Amino acid sequence: MDLRIVAFKEALDSFVYLAGIDLAEIRQMLPDERLIDGFQNGRAQKFEYTTELCWKAIKVFLKEKDGIDEAAPKKVIKAYYVGGYITEDDYLLLLDAIEDRNRLSHIYDAETFNRILARLSDYAALFERIGAHLAEENDPPGKTLKGKT
């Protein structure tokens, strides 16, 4: 399995964990708002990192599987969708994830930041579906080391 796909799967595990944490519980455990702010910024950064690894893992998959070599994230995602590897709903959600990742670099208001963070659990579920597909395609059932069954 390509290292970028492995890196995506590794980042995905911690992102899914962080996306699933109940912020109300964290607020009870960490009453200092500065700690909550740091926690939220960490979640946002993990989202950005995982989103980046996701589209790059898809890029590697498409190059190996179909010979498609796009450079831009949205073109990679479109090729993944056109190739029939993702549903239309997931395609649109993945485009939203790319847009939100880009917005995080340029936002200056808490409302937009919090709206993006509210979608992390949806993105985590999407990334899990993509990760499962990439893993399945790279390690199909019955395949063992060096392609021997």
Would you say residue 145 lies in a domain? no
Q: What is the pLDDT of residues 45-75, one digit of tens each?
A: 999 999 999 999 999 999 999 999 999 999 9
CATH code assigned at 66:
1.20.120.330
Would you say residue 148 lies in a domain? no
Contacts 24+ apart (CB under 8 A), 88-91: 90/126, 90/129, 90/130
Number of domains in the chain: 1
Would you say residue 149 lies in a domain? no
Number of H helices, E strands in the chain: 7, 0
Q: Please indicate, yes or no, whether the overall pTM of this predicted structure exceeds 0.85.
A: yes
Task: Give the structural domain span for 127.
Answer: 3-140
